[in-house]
Amino acid sequence: MLLLILILSLNVLRIYSSSLFDFEVAKADGNMISLNDYKGKKAFLIVNVASYCGYTQGHYNEMKLLYDKYKDYGLEILAFPCNDFGQQEPDSNEQIQAFCNAKGAEYPVFGKLKCNANDNTVSSLYNWLMKEAGIERLQWNFNKFLLNEEGKVINYSPQSISVIQMENIIKETIGNLDL
């Protein structure tokens, strides 16, 4: 009985996580990493990415631009490849990494995950992000969640909002910039 209570308690913690730092995710090589390793950053932009989407070129260019501009001030972009929309990320994690490297992505690009499946396979991270942002489902690739230094969701922007359109709120989240 005690074991059952412990197992249920761990599952409840997983469902009711309180910050980004409560999650572990797969890196592109398949090894797990705790997002707690990113503590100390001022702002986090989490994006579900895809290599063969109409939004790919613009979003990757803008993510690189903002990352280059604000990484030294505490911005971390966390990119999560997702094949849930139109099968636009069918490649292996190794191929995705090569694609991202060719696009100049210096931020972490993790292993592929489910961010919008119609079953119970959606990653716990994306379940939490959507719950915190007050949305039921993502509509497409390149949805953006902005989180503060405590790992709390403070902004959600769908694919139709470009990364550059988020620059002011990113600067505000980082705070005290002398640019």
Domains of the chain, residue spans: 2-174
CATH class of 2-174: alpha beta
Tens digits of pLDDT across the chain (179 residues): 544 343 434 444 445 678 999 999 999 999 999 999 999 999 999 999 998 898 788 899 999 999 999 999 999 999 999 998 889 999 898 999 999 899 889 999 999 999 886 667 889 999 999 999 999 889 899 999 999 999 999 999 999 999 999 999 999 999 976 65
Task: Classify residue 38 by its DSSP letter.
Answer: G
Neighbours of 67 (CB within 10 A): 18
pTM: 0.87
What pairs with residue 46 in β-bridges? 78, 145
Q: Closest by alpha carbon to 43, among 179, 154, 140, 122? A: 154
Which residues are designated catalytic?
Answer: 53
End-to-end Cα, the chain, rounded Å: 58
Distance CA 130, CA 47 (A): 12
